[in-house]
Structure 1
């Protein structure tokens, strides 16, 4: 039985830069940082010489159900991997993190002014389960894709968020 989602993770090239972006620009809260330099980690990730710097983040005011955090950012400082020039979402194996927001247009304008690279401005969702909402894709400093999704007013009200 799968009981819940524990966390999601992105591998980043510069943990300090990424933590600053995810906290200062995106608005997440840093919960914990640690260095993982041990045989257990090397065995777990299956990479000889792996040494990880890890930052754990959460949404402020929202306690994850089964963990202290919802997102891990990991920098491989030992056994560093290559930085691809782009991570298009149609590339097999590329993931994205979708965040539910209640202020997509204001958030878009603020983040754009802070230099965030957006793939698109908020787009009205005209069909499907999220019809009446708005969504946009953006990139973190390493090109990882994040989706912001604002449900319709009725859906926000049903969720108790409006």
Structure 2
């Protein structure tokens, strides 16, 4: 077994694709409309689906926003330098909601960004 993808429901698919590709540097791997079901799926990631886990963005036609709830936590990305990653994300008009620095009760350097729908992305510095 292996992890294939994580699905996120988004209110504006093009805006979300732009964030994940232009701000976080992922690639749009595939996109398909399902007219009978009135939804579109887009798969994004840093590598092909055959090689690693990706994110599935689901846009249900006519739905522009979702309640975030309190069960989902975040998506985590490894970065070589969390401080620089924050600067790069800001330079691409991304939103940083927790600046880079050591995590509470530990030494690992982390930061958090937020996508257009409010999903949190943790940046974990890996040397």
Give the TM-score of the pair, scaled to structure 1. 0.68
Which residue of 90, 103, 109 maps to 1:125? 103
TM-aligned CA distance change 1:140 to 1:12, over 3 Å: same
Residue of structure 2 equivalent to 1:144: 119
For residues 22-80 of structure 1, give each alpha carbon's deviation from its aligned partner in whole angstroms, at most 9, with x where no partner exists. Answer: 10011001100001234xxxxxxxxxxx4211110111xx444566x6111111005x3
The answer to which structure has the higher strand fraction is: 2
Q: Please provide the CA RMSD for this pair.
A: 2.2
Unaligned runs of at least 5 residues, structure 1: 39-49, 157-162
Moved more, 25-34 or 102-111: 102-111
Following superposition, the deviation at residue 96 of structure 1 comes to 1.2
Relative contact order, CA 8 A, sep 6+: which one is greater?
2
Structure with greater Cα Rg: 1
User: Does 1:70 find its partner at 2:54?
Assistant: yes
Runs of 4+ in 1 over 4 A off after TM superposition: 63-67
